[in-house]
Structure 1
């Protein structure tokens, strides 16, 4: 089981690094926001794997709060882009 946990951490770390590269390179603002959302989801994954590895399942509450916060941020950004697009057409 320990090998699976370390492999999960390694894959999540590689994914986080690649999404950080996407965050820096862009090219557009929505691409960067999607990269941030992916990073938030990967962080939830990190917390979940850590909760399993440490047998402290209270961390799952933290992961749930982070996931809900990231979702609300995505909804807020989508609404911002929608309003910005309407003003750009006028």
Structure 2
């Protein structure tokens, strides 16, 4: 293996560890958040972290379908965050 491949594998492993740590810390904020707004933001951050993990897995495995999956996760995460925030603020989602 070349030095560039070793560097790329090391960078991917470090990035996996950092994003998993961010996911765990977001989960702690989700459980211990003092307000509902903090919990919504923690849930949105967990969606972004999961998105990062899917993209990293696609880079690591060299499969392009993961990038399309990440777009679907991003859209679903955005819509669910907006719906949850509207429900907390107004008590209903559809007017």
TM over 0.5: yes
The alpha carbon displacement at 1:83 in A equals 1.4
SS at match of 1:56: coil
2:20 alignment counterpart:
13
- Report how many aligned residue pairs link the two structures: 84
Residue 68 of structure 2 corresponds to residue 56 of structure 1: no
Alignment of 1:1-90 (within 5 A): 1-84=8-91
Question: Structure 2 regions of 5+ residues with no counterpart?
Answer: 1-7
1:88 alignment counterpart:
none
TM-score under structure 2 normalisation? 0.84
Question: Cα RMSD between the aligned structures?
Answer: 0.9
TM-score under structure 1 normalisation? 0.88
Question: Structure 1 regions of 5+ residues with no counterpart?
Answer: 85-90
The alpha carbon displacement at 1:26 in A equals 1.1
In the aligned structure 2, how far is the partner of 1:13 from the partner of 1:81?
Answer: 28
Q: Which segments of structure 1 move beyond 3 Å, counting only runs of 4 or more? A: none
The alpha carbon displacement at 1:33 in A equals 1.1
